[in-house]
Structures are given as C-alpha cells and as structure tokens.
Amino acid sequence: MKKLWICIAAFFAAGAVSLAVIYIRNLNKVQIEFNIHINRQAIYLSTYSEPPQFAIWLENPASHKLKQVFVTNRAGVGDWEGKADVPVAVPHWSAVFRHNVAGDDDDELVVSGATPRDEYFRINAAVRPNSEWTVWIEMNLAGDYNEWYPQFNRETHEEDEFACGQPALLYRADIKAVKGAEYTPHLEAMSLWENGNTRLAPVDSTITSAHTVFDRMTLRIIRPKFRFINLKRAEKQEVLADSIMKRR
C-alpha cells in the first residue's frame, strides 16, 4: 500500500514539474496574432472566383534572418492543376525563399496550409518578447484583370500565361513583440514577375481592385494560451494512425 502511495505521489510530482516547465516556456514567448478579412465580393468579381494565394513571413531587421509563418498550399508546393509552377502568384516570396531556410526549431511557425475559403483568416506565430520584426504579407488574386493587366493584350498579342491579372501586392509592418501592442500592415509595393525575374515597384494607378482583396488586416501581440498537451503533435499522430489503419 505504501508503494502505491509513493507511485501516486511520484506521478503527481512529475505532472507538476511538467506543468511548471511548460508554464516557464510560455513566459518566454509571446505570439503575433494575424487577423485578415478577405473581401468575398472582390473574389466573386474576378474571372475564376477563387480565393487569393498569399504568404506571410517575418524578417529580423538586424540579421535579416527569415521565418515563414504561412503560405497557401498551392503556392507552397506548386499545386497548379497541370502546371509545374506559377512563380508569379507570390513572386517576391518565391524569390526570397528560393535560397533561404526559415525558422528556429523552438519557434512554433506554420509553413503551409489549405487556401482559406472563409472570409476570416487567423494564425499565430510564437516569438520572443520584445523582439523586433518586419512582417511581410504578399497576396495575389488570379484573374482580377483590368485595362492595364488584361487577359489578352490586343496590342502585343500576348496572353496572360499564368492568369495572374493584377500583380501580387506586398504589405509590410514593423513591429515590436510587446504584449497588447497592435499594428496595421501598410501597402508597400507590387511584385512584378518579368521574364523569370522579380522586381518590386511602387503601387500606382494601374492597381484598381487588387488592394481591396484584403480589406482589413490587424496584428496583435498576445500571450500564448497555456496548453499541457501539444495539440499539433497529437494531430500528427492521429493522422499517422488513420493512415496506418487504412493500409491494413
């Protein structure tokens, strides 16, 4: 009986230690909460009425080290329904990460995910308190043609090969990870893909509707929610278990 009580006490002690470790780790992190509202009317008015492709990443302004936060699956893995790659979708992101490896192992960052079909998009990225970052968000809505970016150019007799429409837009916010702080990204540039090369240019009057696709964006610095269970790891294990069961 005495051994049983010792085992029970040891079990609860180990649990308490684990909780304390997780709590201390959470004290050393805050999260950038990204909130994006997607204008469904703008999507409806585009030729293909498909959700936009976009990428979110962080840059350390001192070291210029990069950390990926999110990229839509098609842009991230090149799933373009018969086309090997569409670099003009998010061209600046493609150029930046072509020769860079992102992220520290201890930062909980998401690399890719399904293209959001709901009008509200939210994701969090864990960073160290008081750290400074440049936040980049690049977005492109396929088929949002206009007078300057037509589906078929009658003067040059060229077709928009990748159905890009208006160029991808690049948003920026310079932030400091202080709990409670809020930021609004501003429109920094448009990403132009020309003959295999990418360049950034100031946004001009040729952009007539692309800037309305993300009609509201806010960044908030919050404390991470206290979790005893690593939900991401649990989800991966569940998917792996389902896969194994289907093979049997």
According to the model, what pLDDT value does residue 67 have?
93
CA distance linking residue 195 with residue 153, whole number of Å: 17
Is-contact 122 171, C-beta < 8 A?
A: no
CA distance linking residue 155 with residue 105, whole number of Å: 51
Say what the pTM is: 0.75
Residue 214: phi and psi, rounded to 5, are -95, 95
What count of Cα atoms within 13 Å lies in the side-chain half-sphere of residue 158? Answer: 8
According to the model, what pLDDT value does residue 244 have?
31
Least confident of 87-96, 125-134, 207-216: 87-96
Q: Could you tell me the sign of the dihedral formed by the alpha carbons of 216, 221, 226, 231, in that order?
A: positive
Least confident of 24-33, 43-52, 76-85, 92-101: 76-85
First to last CA, the chain: 44
* 19 compared with 59, residue with greater pLDDT: 59
* 200 compared with 80, residue with greater pLDDT: 200
According to the model, what pLDDT value does residue 151 have?
83
According to the model, what pLDDT value does residue 242 have?
39
Which residue, 24, 30, 19, is CA-closest to 130? 30
Strands in the chain per DSSP E: 30-38, 53-59, 66-71, 120-127, 132-140, 152-153, 158-159, 168-176, 182-183, 186-194, 197-201, 214-222
What pLDDT band is residue 6 in, cutting at 50, 70 and 90?
A: low
Say how many C-beta atoms besides its own lie within 10 A of residue 161's C-beta: 9
pLDDT at 8 over 50: yes
Lookup: tokens for 153: 């150019």
Give pLDDT tens digits for 79-114.
Answer: 545 444 556 678 899 888 865 544 454 454 556 666
CA distance linking residue 34 with residue 182, whole number of Å: 10
Read off the pLDDT of each residue in 229-238 and give the average, rounded to a whole number. Answer: 43
DSSP code for 211: G
C-alpha separations of 227 from 22, 25, 54, 165, 205 in Å: 8, 11, 29, 43, 48
